[in-house]
């Protein structure tokens, strides 16, 4: 990746203004000031949503093993995976895709499992899909996790009747043939759908459409989507990606029927090139830096789309949903490239935390996001191999950031910021976010992007006297440190505490680390 210095300077200025960074005196250490007298937008818990697609071992083997499996399971769902996901309080799961959603026939996935048809998953590895995991299994999973459901409908190859009947099957309370079918399949009570997506990546695998054509199709399909009163989901229009705001513009102007938000996808590729994305492990500092640089671009993309939304939707009725994000590396050697399995390192932990801090800063519009994906695919929480399971550094960051679910964001300023430079290119040395949690406590997250230098950071809170910071830290001895089935605890959270000294609270933030602390008086 080539970073143009002028472009980068402009970018750094933009990032600095996001974080309200002011001019600094070079000799002073960075000072973070949190204004606890103000309150910003609520950090919706759905920002911490996940994505589970019929892709590789994302569902089969990773979540669903079937009741007869020798792997310990709860009614077919891996016990170890379910328990680990419960621990991080996953609020929302998106399913069945992704690209897979636009080829999915929901009727294939209901009724007795041994009678369900086999199809070929043409998007992901050309493998057989036996439809053992379908609508009932998905809703059982979200119930097991205590999460909510985000169902993505098929606009690409389906028709409005199929989509409408799926929603009726899930939410209906009448005695219609479709709802009776659900009852006959063992479920009397309707399920709740929190979000319903109408197509996916309409600009690409969802049909290679133009925004105006998709807007017409959306209006067409949405006309027929009905649920009992009070059980309407939030409807999601499939929006754009990276620098393209034309989808947000077209959809926010020309979709007239039930739309609650527009989705957006952005993946972090170390090189920025799809042909050779970069490796998940064994990288040097150049790709550490470029990966974090790419990640920081999320802020620029959200800003550009918010500008469009603020013009077309000044009342802020629409959400901006980043329903796919995360790292995407070259396929691992010896593995099926279409399964998108990749190792997950300390670098991924920082990517997750930086994205969270950006989402918090834009919580007024970004009400929901889904990392891609939950298990065994791309930037996963969990990797499995037969009966073995390992928690990734990304999982641990979700664990640390739980305190931000439904918290109230607080304004934060950084004075005397350091930059992190490689050659003549620089990034902010720190990414930070502060909020008042649902429990009333003040929380601060700090990410030290520099892999070589620890940073001392002074913390001050307007409106409260804080004397201590305690929480947890994720770091490791190497940029590509990761957990493996043989060594599952190389990257794990460690307890952290700092106390005031002479009225000053100063945090030592190790190189390449993510820290989340509660500040107490
Ligand atoms: O997450 C993997 C794929 O990436 C999804 O199926 C698709 O929507 C995106 O291109």
> Is ligand 1 within 6 A of the CB of residue 399?
no
256 vs 115: which has the higher pLDDT: 115
Per-residue pLDDT at 8 exceeds 90: no
Phi then psi dihedrals of residue 359, to 5 deg:
-60, -40
Tokens 């499992």 identify what position?
113
Mean pLDDT of 49-78: 98
* Residue with CA closest to ligand 1 atom 9: 98
Note every long-range contact of 268-275, with CB atoms under 8 Å and residues 24 or more positions apart, other chains counting.
268/294, 268/295, 268/325, 268/326, 268/327, 268/328, 268/351, 269/294, 269/327, 269/328, 269/329, 270/1, 270/294, 270/327, 270/329, 271/1, 272/1, 273/1
The answer on pLDDT for 178 being more than 50 is yes
Which of 201, 250, 500, 508 is flagged as catalytic?
201
With 60 as the cut, is the pLDDT of residue 247 above it?
A: yes
User: What 3-state DSSP class applies to 431?
Assistant: strand
- The predicted pLDDT at position 11 comes to 39
Q: Note the pLDDT tens digit of each residue in 461-490.
A: 999 999 999 999 999 999 999 999 999 999
Give me ligand 1 centre to Cα 96, in Å.
11
State the CB neighbour count (10 A cutoff) for residue 206. 23
pLDDT value of residue 256: 79
In the predicted structure, residue 6 carries a pLDDT above the cut 70: no
Scanning the structure block, which residue is given the tokens 């939950």? 374
Q: Is 324 designated active site?
A: yes
Provide the pLDDT for residue 19. 40
- Burial call 281-310: b when 16+ CB within 10 Å, e when fewer: bebeeebbbbbbbbbbbbbbbbeebbebbe
Ligand 1 nearest-atom number relative to CA 206: 8
Across all residues in the chain, what is the average pLDDT? 94
Question: Ligand 1 in contact with 239 (CB < 6 A)?
Answer: no
pLDDT in tens, 314-353: 999 999 999 999 999 999 999 999 999 999 999 999 999 9
Judged against a pLDDT cut of 80, whether residue 405 lies above it is answered with yes
Residue 377, pLDDT score:
98
The two tokens of residue 363 are: 């919580």
Residue 373, preceding peptide bond in cis (omega within 30° of 0): yes
Atom of ligand 1 nearest to the CA of 98: 6
53 Cβ closer than 6 Å to some ligand 1 atom: yes
Q: Which residues, in sequence order, are CB contacts of 454 under 8 Å at separation 6+?
A: 448, 508, 509, 510, 511
pLDDT at 28: 86
Substitution site in 265, 339, 342 for ligand 1 pocket (most atoms within 8 Å of beta carbon):
265
Q: Which band of pLDDT confidence, cut at 50, 70 and 90, is reported for residue 2?
A: very low
Token pair 């305690």 is found at: 470
pLDDT at 27 over 70: no
The finding on whether 323 has its CB within 6 A of some atom of ligand 1 is no
Which tens digit of pLDDT belongs to each residue from 426-467? 999 999 999 999 999 999 999 999 999 999 999 999 999 999
- Ligand 1 centroid distance, CA of 455 (Å): 37
CA distances, 365 to each of 16, 198, 215, 218 (Å)? 20, 20, 21, 21
Looking from the CA of residue 124, the nearest atom of ligand 1 is 6
Closest atom, ligand 1, to C-alpha of 201: 8
pLDDT at position 438 is 97
Local confidence band at 493 (pLDDT 50, 70, 90 cut-offs): very high
Q: Which of 372, 373, 375 to mutate to test the pocket of ligand 1 (most atoms within 8 A of CB)?
A: 372
- Given a cut of 60, whether residue 413 has pLDDT beyond it is yes
* 92: pLDDT strictly greater than 70: yes
The H or E element containing residue 12 is helix 5-18
Segment 344-366 shows an average pLDDT of 98
């Amino acid at each position: 990746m080539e970073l143009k210095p002028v472009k980068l300077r402009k970018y750094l200025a933009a990032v600095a203004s996001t974080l309200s960074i002011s001019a600094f005196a070079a000799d002073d250490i960075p000072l973070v000031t949190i204004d606890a007298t103000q309150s910003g937008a609520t950090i919706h818990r759905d920002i911490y949503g996940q994505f589970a697609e019929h892709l590789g071992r994302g569902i089969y083997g990773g979540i669903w093993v079937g009741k007869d499996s020798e792997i310990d399971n709860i009614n077919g769902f891996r016990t170890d995976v379910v328990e680990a996901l419960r621990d991080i309080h996953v609020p929302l799961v998106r399913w069945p895709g992704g690209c897979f959603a636009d080829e999915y026939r929901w009727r294939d996935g209901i009724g007795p499992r041994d009678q369900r048809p086999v199809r070929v998953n043409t998007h992901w590895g050309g493998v057989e899909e036996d439809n053992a995991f379908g609508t009932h299994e998905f809703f059982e999973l979200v119930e097991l996790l205590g999460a909510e459901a985000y169902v993505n409908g098929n606009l690409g190859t389906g028709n409005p009747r199929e989509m409408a009947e799926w929603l009726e099957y899930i939410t209906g309370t009448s005695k219609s043939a479709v709802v009776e079918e659900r009852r006959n399949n063992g479920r009397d009570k309707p399920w709740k759908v929190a979000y319903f997506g109408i197509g996916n990546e309409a600009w690409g695998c969802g049909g290679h459409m133009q925004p105006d054509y998709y807007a017409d199709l959306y209006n067409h399909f949405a006309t027929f989507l009905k649920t009992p009163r009070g059980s309407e989901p939030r409807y999601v229009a499939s929006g754009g990606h990276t620098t393209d705001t034309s989808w947000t513009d077209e959809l926010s102007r020309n979709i007239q029927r039930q739309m609650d938000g527009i989705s957006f996808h952005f993946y972090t590729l170390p090189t920025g090139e799809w042909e050779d994305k970069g490796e998940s492990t064994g990288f040097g500092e150049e790709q550490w830096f470029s990966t974090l640089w790419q990640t920081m671009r999320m802020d620029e993309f959200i800003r550009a789309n918010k500008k469009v939304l603020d013009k077309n939707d000044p009342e802020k009725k629409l959400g901006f949903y980043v329903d796919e994000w995360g790292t995407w590396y070259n396929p691992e050697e010896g593995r099926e490239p279409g399964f998108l399995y990749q190792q997950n390192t300390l670098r991924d932990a920082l990517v997750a935390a930086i994205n969270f801090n950006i989402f918090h800063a834009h919580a007024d519009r970004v009400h929901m996001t889904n990392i891609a994906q939950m298990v065994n695919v791309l930037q996963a929480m969990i990797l499995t191999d037969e009966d073995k399971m390992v928690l990734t550094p990304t999982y641990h960051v979700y664990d640390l950031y739980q305190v931000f679910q439904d918290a109230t964001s607080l304004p934060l300023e950084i004075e005397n910021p350091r930059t992190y430079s490689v050659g003549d290119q620089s990034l902010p040395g720190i990414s930070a976010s502060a909020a008042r949690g649902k429990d009333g406590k003040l929380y601060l997250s700090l990410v030290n992007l520099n892999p070589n230098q620890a940073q001392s950071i002074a913390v001050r809170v307007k409106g409260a006297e804080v004397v201590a910071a305690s929480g947890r830290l994720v770091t490791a001895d190497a940029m590509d440190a990761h957990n493996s089935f043989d060594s599952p605890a190389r990257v794990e959270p460690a307890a952290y505490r700092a106390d005031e000294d002479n009225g000053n609270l100063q945090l030592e933030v190790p190189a390449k680390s993510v820290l989340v602390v509660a500040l107490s008086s």
